[in-house]
């Protein structure tokens, strides 16, 4: 039985709301890092402190492939809804741990150790969240407008990051700088834990996707990680290939850009946060348009524009932002790069989901994405700061451009998933 329009919209938006909360909790770490870096890592200058927080950020990413594997198996065997509910519960626990952990001045080395463990726990959660939510939203979206509706996966992903920045901006205006540095940075983590409880309640009421219900009714055998790599090697390599460049460029212009504006371009912390926030608003609002466009022209042309453009504009955009002292010029440069990147982000969920059959779809979406995202997205900040620390910051621009160029070559070899896709249900 086909889903009605209202039920479809309700399911997509319900699944997306929980995704927003998950990414809010995840990005709160990056947004607040400028404040809590000296609390957990008091030694060294600002670059050294940020380098250590970026290392913890990267370790959290390396937990994501394990979470993707475990939660992918769970989602393909028990259901998308069950996996979505479990992942948001785990994220809540990680946020509470960070909010409650004293600084290094109070408990010494235990402080960064607890921070690391909390991020690993959040990484396990988010590794499962991405595959489960991308699969669920894509399966619920409907054939004709699948690109448009599944673009809300990144709307809420960016929305989570934007909400984290918005909370930070509000706190910056409400609290004195000394209070913000001492304890105010903990407030977003408490808010994130509270929102996770609300998301849990919403997800408990979601309907299961028709693709999973049909596979369960037909008694389709649920495949595992071995079958994924042996039976779908081309699809796995495709997801690995375009996630490498896609994640790298995404994290350059979102999470790292805030620090780049402060640490390299010379903007104040408040200015950097506000430029990042406005850029992210524009990025978020653009996603449905580009998703809709993919329903008209196909997924492959969009991917080629995103990665080809990413390879060409990263150097001039980064050098231009570094050289300017105008907030407006910095915003325009970042905005232009983000619009090119939207050709990938808007269809990131659906293009992966369309590659795999139902029985292994969540695992197929989650695991190769998590591996490439950990290797390239999760390390982006660390690599960028390392290049800066050795006095060769422009080397990072070349590195990021090369990752986008590799993804461009992978996109050239992929089939047009809008036409040849494996989501059979409408």
Q: What is the C-alpha to C-alpha distance for residues 116 and 110, in angstroms, rounded to an integer?
A: 10
User: What are 107's two structure tokens?
Assistant: 């408990």
Where are the strands (E) in 230-278, listed by range?
Answer: none
Please tell me the distance from the alpha carbon of residue 148 to that of residue 287, in angstroms, as a whole number.
8
Task: For 63-194, list the strands marked E by DSSP.
Answer: none
Q: Are 383 and 55 in contact (CB under 8 A)?
A: no
CA pair distance 276, 223, nearest whole angstrom: 41
Please give the pLDDT value at position 423.
73
Query: Do 212 and 356 contact (CB within 8 A), yes or no?
Result: no
* pLDDT, position 342: 97
Lowest-confidence range among 160-164, 286-290, 348-352, 397-401? 160-164
Task: Out of 85-89, 294-298, 310-314, 385-389, pick the least confident.
Answer: 85-89
- To the nearest 10 degrees (0 to 180), the angle between helices 233-253 and 327-345 is 170
pLDDT, tens digit, for every residue of 332-363?
999 999 999 999 999 998 999 899 988 888 88
Tokens of 201: 């309640």
Nearest Cα neighbor of 253 from 323, 330, 150 is 330
The per-residue pLDDT for 5 is 58
Angle (deg, nearest 10), helices 5-40 and 46-77: 150
How far, in Å, CA of 252 to CA of 276, rounded?
Answer: 11
CATH superfamily, with its number, for domain 5-413: MFS general substrate transporter like domains (1.20.1250.20)
**pLDDT band of 212, cuts 50, 70, 90:** confident
User: Which tokens is 334 given?
Assistant: 């970042």
Q: Classify residue 127 as exposed, middle or buried by CB count within 10 Å of its CB (0-12, 13-18, 19+).
A: buried
DSSP assignments along 15-26, one per residue:
HHHHHHHHHHHH
What's the number of CA atoms in the CB half-sphere (13 Å) around residue 356? 36
Task: Give the Cα separation of 345 and 19 in Å (integer).
Answer: 15
Tracing tokens 């808010």 back to the chain, one arrives at: 191
Give the tens place of pLDDT for each residue, 23-38: 888 888 877 888 888 8
Query: What are the boundaries of each domain within the chain?
Result: 5-413
Task: Give 172-201 as a DSSP string.
Answer: HHHS-HHHHHHTGGGHHHHHHHHHHHHHHH
- Rounded distance between C-alpha atoms, residue 420 and residue 426, angstroms: 14
């Amino acid at each position: 039985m086909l889903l009605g329009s209202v039920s479809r919209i309700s399911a997509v938006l319900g699944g997306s709301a929980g995704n927003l909360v998950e990414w809010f909790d995840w990005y709160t770490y990056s947004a607040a890092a400028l404040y809590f870096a000296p609390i957990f890592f008091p030694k060294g200058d600002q670059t050294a402190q940020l380098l250590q927080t970026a290392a913890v950020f990267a370790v959290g990413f390396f937990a994501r492939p394990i979470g993707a594997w475990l939660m992918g198996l769970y989602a393909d065997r028990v259901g998308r809804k069950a996996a979505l509910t479990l992942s948001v519960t785990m994220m809540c626990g990680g946020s509470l741990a960070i909010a409650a952990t004293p600084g290094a001045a109070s408990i010494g080395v235990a402080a960064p150790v607890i921070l690391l463990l909390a991020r690993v726990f959040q990484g396990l959660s988010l590794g499962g969240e991405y595959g489960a939510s991308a699969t669920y939203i894509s399966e619920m979206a409907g054939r004709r407008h699948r690109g448009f509706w599944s673009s809300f996966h990144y709307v809420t992903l960016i929305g989570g990051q934007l909400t984290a920045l918005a909370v930070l901006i509000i706190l910056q205006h409400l609290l004195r700088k000394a209070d913000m540095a001492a304890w105010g940075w903990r407030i977003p983590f408490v808010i994130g834990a509270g929102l996770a409880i609300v998301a849990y309640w919403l997800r408990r009421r979601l309907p299961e996707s028709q693709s999973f219900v049909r596979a369960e009714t037909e008694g389709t055998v649920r495949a595992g990680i071995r079958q994924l790599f042996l039976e779908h090697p081309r699809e796995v390599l495709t997801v690995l290939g375009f996630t490498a460049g896609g994640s790298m460029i995404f994290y350059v212009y979102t999470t790292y850009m805030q620090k780049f504006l402060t640490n390299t371009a010379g903007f104040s912390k408040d200015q950097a946060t506000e430029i990042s926030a406005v850029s992210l608003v524009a990025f978020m609002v653009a996603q449905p348009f580009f998703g809709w466009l993919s329903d008209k022209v196909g997924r492959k042309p969009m991917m080629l524009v995103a990665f080809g453009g990413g390879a060409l504009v990263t150097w001039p955009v980064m050098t231009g932002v570094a050289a300017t002292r105008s907030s407006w010029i910095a915003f325009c440069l970042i905005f232009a790069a983000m619009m090119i990147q939207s050709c990938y982000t808007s269809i990131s969920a659906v293009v992966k989901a369309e590659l795999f059959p139902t029985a292994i779809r969540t695992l197929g979406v989650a695991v190769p994405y998590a591996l490439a995202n950990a290797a390239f997205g999760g390390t982006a900040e660390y690599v960028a700061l390392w290049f800066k620390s050795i006095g060769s910051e422009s080397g990072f621009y070349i590195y990021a451009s090369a990752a986008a160029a590799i993804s461009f070559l992978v996109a050239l070899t992929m089939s047009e998933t809008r036409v040849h896709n494996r989501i059979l249900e409408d």
